[in-house]
Chain A
């Protein structure tokens, strides 16, 4: 990885992270613009494949930037892109966390916190819907998703059971 590419990764992902309100994946179109259109580091198909791989793997969704970095500059590229995407906003979140502790208990802060709760829950539901649409290639995955939803909602067993079942069902029927 050359120094020029290093700085392109740092500045590119750093700038994207600062506008990623709502989550890292919200700025996927911006990432596409950076790595495919502006720098031509990978093709459309590469981009989609890396995204699918990151979705299939456990961990924060935003780690897909690590795969983009890997593609561009191996391990060093992976670390550079991941840190550029996470470090600047981390300082911001930390500063905010301190402010929140200092203002804890104020009426308006409680109002804001409580007012954002439905958005947080609604967006978890939305990401579930989007994941479900992406995997719904026939009736088997749809039934699997429905069963898993009810299992996780209505029981307190570990969701790892449904993932294991999903792997077996996938192996048998997909």
Chain B
């Protein structure tokens, strides 16, 4: 199902986890997930597209911020308890500091037209970045038709009809699991 990987896959050190997740947090415009995939799968090659998507999928079914749940699982996978603390800690710490600064900056300059214009431009580009990531993941993972249909349903339900996410996730999970069961049993 997935494309063959070039064989040696690097394993991060604890410092790697800290620096990498810190960077993901600070460049994570439009949300973490698309950026985490970009860095973990494409740049660092610590995970494949399939592995990243599976981890994120589990993170979405569990309660709590899904990017955080996924980061805990990735950290634990490579460095146990320490990894599960260091990665997510860096991912939240940097942006939290930035946000504190931004909150003060925004109170002072938020109404300046140039600031608004730049923010609007970045937001529009970030939206495309997130959409492009979804397209790229679909292309790389190459899901069988049944799973592709489940993915499209999730996209439409949450993105167009704005169905609350718990209903989308819990309502579609049985169909996804059924589709995966048939695909894996057929092999």
Contact = CB atoms under 8 A, between A and B. Distances in A.
- A and B co-occur in one complex: yes
Interface of A: 17-26, 29, 49, 53-63, 66-67, 70, 75, 78, 82, 85-86, 88-90, 92-94, 96-98, 100-101, 107, 110-132, 134-137, 140-142, 144-154, 156, 158-160, 162-163, 165-171, 173-174
A118 B124 contact: no
A97 B76 contact: yes
Nearest to B161: A126
A153 B56 contact: no
B40 interface: no
A60 B67 contact: yes
B154 to A, nearest CB: 3
Contact of B134 (A121, A147, A163, A165): A121
B54 interface: yes
Contact of A63 (B62, B76, B99): B99
A98 B76 contact: yes
Interface of B: 25-35, 38, 42, 50, 53-54, 56-69, 72-73, 76-77, 81, 84, 88, 91-92, 94-96, 98-100, 102-103, 106, 110, 114, 116-139, 141, 143, 147-148, 150-155, 157-160, 162, 164-166, 168-170, 172-173, 176-181, 183-184
B67 A89 contact: no
A62 B65 contact: yes
